[in-house]
Chain A
Amino acid sequence: DTEVTQTPKHLVMGMTNKKSLKCEQHMGHRAMYWYKQKAKKPPELMFVYSYEKLSINESVPSRFSPECPNSSLLNLHLHALQPEDSALYLCASSPLAGGLGVADTQYFGPGTRLTVL
Chain B
Amino acid sequence: EDKVVQSPLSLVVHEGDTVTLNCSYEVTNFRSLLWYKQEKKAPTFLFMLTSSGIEKKSGRLSSILDKKELFSILNITATQTGDSAIYLCAVVYNFNKFYFGSGTKLNVKP
Contacts and interface: CB of A to CB of B under 8 A. Distances in A.
Contacts of B34: 105-106
A106 B45 contact: yes
Given A45-B98, A48-B96, A56-B96, A105 B45 contact: yes
Interface residues of B, number: 21
B63 to A, nearest CB: 13
B31 interface: yes
B12 interface: no
Nearest to B100: A42
Nearest to B102: A42
B53 interface: no
B45 A45 contact: no
A103 B97 CA distance: 11
Contact of A33 (B31, B98, B101): B98
Interface in B63-110: 88, 90, 92, 96-103
Contacts of B97: 45, 48, 56
B98 A111 contact: no
Interface in A49-73: 50, 55-56
Contacts of B92: 103-104
B102 to A, nearest CB: 6
A42 B50 contact: no
Nearest to A48: B96
A30 B2 CA distance: 25
For the residues of B in contact with A, the DSSP-based class is: strand
Contact of B100 (A43, A101, A104, A105): A43
B102 A108 contact: no
A90 B42 CA distance: 7
Contacts of A110: 41-42
Interface in A77-117: 90, 94, 96, 101-111
Given A42-B88, A110-B42, A111-B41, A101 B96 contact: no
B11 to A, nearest CB: 15
B76 to A, nearest CB: 19
**What are the 7 closest A-B residue pairs judged by CB atoms, nearest first?**
A103-B32, A42-B100, A108-B42, A103-B31, A105-B48, A103-B50, A110-B41
